[in-house]
Every structure is written in structure tokens, then in C-alpha cells.
């Protein structure tokens, strides 16, 4: 089931412990630069290799807006197009750099009701072979 | 051991806590929320959720029409960059005032920046035609910490995004560690 199927998950069909299918993003310089410019972030560390190296980074690295964008896509590709994101709370770790694929994983940790709305908390993680790029919690309404 | 100069720096920055650090006032989005920028984002991130671009699909969805990807929130009020000299400014889109907390830390040698936390909250999804403003308030500065990157301070701010009616549409808590790279391995 995914957003491209046009099916949005129902709150009542989910259970704590349900896993979000693994999403592996092949991180390239193009992925990083495209995300940076689409988010109007012109910091050279996100497009200029020499500048990034000079700052002590291993290469150009993904900006945080793009990281949040991929977290959003990871969740809505699973939960469906009518998912409403309420919160993306992440702790940032190692950089996402070209040549090191990012593996996104997630697991449902809580199902809550807030008035009429059914909320779902999902623990998320994206890691490459340097370590965790992010860990955190996404809250959605279904 | 207390170091009076450092404590004075923290105290000076502490005076900004609870106050706007946006400079000349809230940042006003240069453009309304708009489909061309949404399309650019959707293509860059290969996010094929139809509610972002398919008008007919979106009209029949719970959203009742096209909505912007929520993670674009920050994008709308990003300052227009001055490309010339951007590397020399460390990547800042424009000049940062000398008394800004980040400038004060840079001037004192805490030139390293590591982003540690981001919390985005969405009150409602944005639609084409929405015009946003954002204001940044300094939430806290930690005591000086010693870490594997050197000595420095955790600095936290909250950006609040409002629409054309002044209603809050979202917030972002952001925390960075500003450190002095020359103090790696220095005794505390």
C-alpha cells in the first residue's frame, strides 16, 4: 500500500509495532543539490564540494529542509496521500553525503485520539554507513 | 573553573532569550505559496503524492484542493540570497547584524556550527495563495559545554509562521551547537 496506490491507511487498522516499509534513498550530489535549491537554501556546503571539504565535511551534504522533506515522503508513501502530518521531531546525526545510501525505517509507537482525530506516532530513523543521520518521531493524523 | 569572559558572553546572549532575533522584523515571504515552487520541490524530492499537484485528485481529497508539501514550511520565507560573497559569509544569505547572538558567538571564536535538533509542527496545510511571515525568537542558550567537537553552547530558537490573517500555521524549534574548533581536547 502506498500513496501512489491512492489508498490512505485507516487509524483503526493500525497497531503499535507496525513497521513502515524500508525506503532506501540513493544519495547523490544531484539529490543533495536538487533538494537544497528547491528549498531555496543556497548555502555552499549543500552544492560546492571544495567549500564543504574546507568546512571539515566529507563532501557536500544534505540540508535539513531536504531531510525533513524525505521524512515526509517516507511517511506519506506508506500511510497514503490523505495523511496529515502534524509533527516531525528529529535529532540530527551524521551527514547525508553522495555515495552513501540513506535507509529510512519506522515503527508505530502509539495510537492516540485527540477529539475526533486519530493520531499515530511513528519512531523514525534514517541511517547510512556512517551512522544515524536522524532519529525521531513523526506524528500524523489519519 | 569559571572563565569570566565566557560567562559575560553567555550573559550577553541570554539577554536575547524570549526576544525576536529576526533582525529588522518578521521575514515576509517573497512570494505566495505557489504551484511552480511546489512542482520544483516535488520533482527534486521525487514525492509523487497527488495532493500536491493533481488539482482534480486534490479537490476530491480531504484537503479539498491542492496543498503544499508540509515540509516546505521553511522554504516560503527563506531570505532571498545575495549570491556574491555567500561563501565568504559562511553561507549566510545576507549580512548578519553584529549584535545578533550568532554573530556574538562567531566573534568570540565559536565559529563551528552543528545542527542537533529540528521539530516542525504543522497547524494546517498551506494552499496556493497563502502569504507567510516568520519570526524567530531565541528560546535558550545552554551553559558552556565541553564535547568531542570542542567547547561551545547549545542555542535554541523557535520560528513561528503566520498567514495573511495573522493565524499561526506552523512552528519550528531548531537547536544548534556553536563551538570553538580550536578547543578540541582542551581541559574543561
Neighbour count for residue B56 (Cβ, 10 Å): 9
pLDDT 10s digits, A15-35: 999 999 999 999 999 999 999
Predicted model pTM: 0.94
**For a pLDDT cut of 90, what percent of chain B falls above it?**
72
Is A107 within 8 Å of chain B by CB? no
Asked whether this complex has an ipTM greater than 0.90, the answer is: yes
Q: Which of B57, B78, B86 sits opposite A40 (nearest CB)?
A: B78
Residue ranges and CATH numbers for the domains of chain B are 4-30+79-182 (3.10.129.10), 34-67 (no CATH)
| HSE of B2, CA atoms in CB hemisphere, 13 A | 5
Q: Which residues of B touch A51 (CB under 8 A)?
A: 87, 91
3-class secondary-structure state, position B132: coil
pLDDT 10s digits, A76-106: 999 999 999 999 999 999 999 999 999 999 9
pLDDT exceeds 80 at position B3: no
Class of the CATH domain delimited by A3-27+70-141 = alpha beta
- With CA atoms as reference, the chain A residue closest to B80 would be A40
Q: Which residues of B touch A4 (CB under 8 A)?
A: 48
pLDDT 10s digits, A110-142: 999 998 899 999 999 999 999 999 999 999 999
C-alpha to C-alpha distances, B51 to B38, B85, B110, B114, nearest whole angstrom: 11, 39, 44, 34
Question: Is B47 close to A73, i.e. CB distance below 8 A?
Answer: yes
Write phi, then psi, for A49 (nearest 5 degrees). Answer: -55, -50
Nearest to A29 by CA among A54, A50, A55, A48: A48
CB burial string A104-133: b at 16+ within 10 A, e below: bbbebeebeeeeeebbbbbebbbbbeeeeb
pLDDT 10s digits, B18-34: 999 988 788 999 999 99
- Stretch B75-96: mean pLDDT: 87
Q: Which residues of B touch A42 (CB under 8 A)?
A: 81, 83, 86, 91, 93
Provide the residue ranges of all domains of chain A, joining segments of one domain with +. 3-27+70-141
Smallest CA–CA distance, residue B184 to chain A, in Å, is: 14
Split at pLDDT 50, 70, 90, the class of B2 is low
Amino acid at each position: 500500500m502506498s500513496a501512489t496506490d491512492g489508498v490512505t491507511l485507516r487509524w483503526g487498522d493500525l497497531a503499535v509495532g507496525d513497521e513502515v516499509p524500508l525506503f532506501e534513498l540513493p544519495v547523490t550530489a544531484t539529490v543533495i543539490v536538487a533538494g537544497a535549491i528547491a528549498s531555496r537554501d543556497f548555502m555552499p556546503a549543500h552544492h560546492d564540494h571544495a567549500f564543504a571539504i574546507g568546512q571539515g565535511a566529507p563532501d557536500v551534504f544534505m540540508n535539513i529542509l531536504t531531510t525533513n522533506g524525505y521524512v515526509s515522503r517516507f511517511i506519506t508513501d506508506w500511510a497514503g496521500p490523505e495523511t496529515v502530518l502534524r509533527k516531525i521531531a528529529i535529532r540530527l546525526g551524521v551527514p547525508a553525503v553522495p555515495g552513501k545510501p540513506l535507509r529510512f525505517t519506522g515503527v508505530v509507537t502509539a495510537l492516540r485520539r485527540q477529539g475526533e482525530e486519530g493520531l499515530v506516532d511513528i519512531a523514525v530513523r534514517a541511517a547510512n554507513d556512517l551512522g544515524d543521520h536522524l532519529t525521531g518521531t513523526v506524528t500524523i493524523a489519519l | 573553573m569559571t572563565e569570566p569572559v565566557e560567562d559575560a558572553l553567555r550573559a550577553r546572549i541570554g539577554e536575547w532569550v524570549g526576544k525576536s532575533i529576526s533582525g529588522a522584523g518578521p521575514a515576509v515571504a517573497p512570494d505566495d505559496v505557489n504551484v511552480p515552487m511546489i512542482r520544483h520541490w516535488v520533482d527534486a524530492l521525487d514525492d509523487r503524492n497527488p495532493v500536491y499537484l493533481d488539482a482534480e485528485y486534490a479537490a476530491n481529497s480531504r484537503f479539498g484542493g491542492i496543498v503544499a508539501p508540509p515540509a516546505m514550511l521553511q522554504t516560503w520565507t527563506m531570505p532571498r540570497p545575495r549570491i556574491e560573497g555567500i561563501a565568504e559569509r559562511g553561507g549566510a544569505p545576507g549580512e548578519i547584524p553584529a549584535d545578533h547572538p550568532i554573530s556574538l558567538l562567531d566573534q568570540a571564536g565559536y565559529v563551528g556550527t552543528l545542527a542537533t535538533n529540528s521539530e516542525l509542527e504543522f497547524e494546517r496545510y498551506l494552499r496556493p495563495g497563502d502569504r507567510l511571515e516568520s519570526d524567530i525568537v531565541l528560546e535558550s542558550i545552554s551553559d558552556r559545554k565541553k564535547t568531542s567537537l570542542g567547547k561551545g553552547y547549545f542555542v535554541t530558537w523557535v520560528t513561528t509562521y503566520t498567514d495573511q490573517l495573522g493565524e499561526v500555521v506552523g512552528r519550528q524549534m531548531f537547536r544548534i551547537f556553536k563551538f570553538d574548533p580550536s578547543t578540541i581536547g582542551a581541559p574543561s
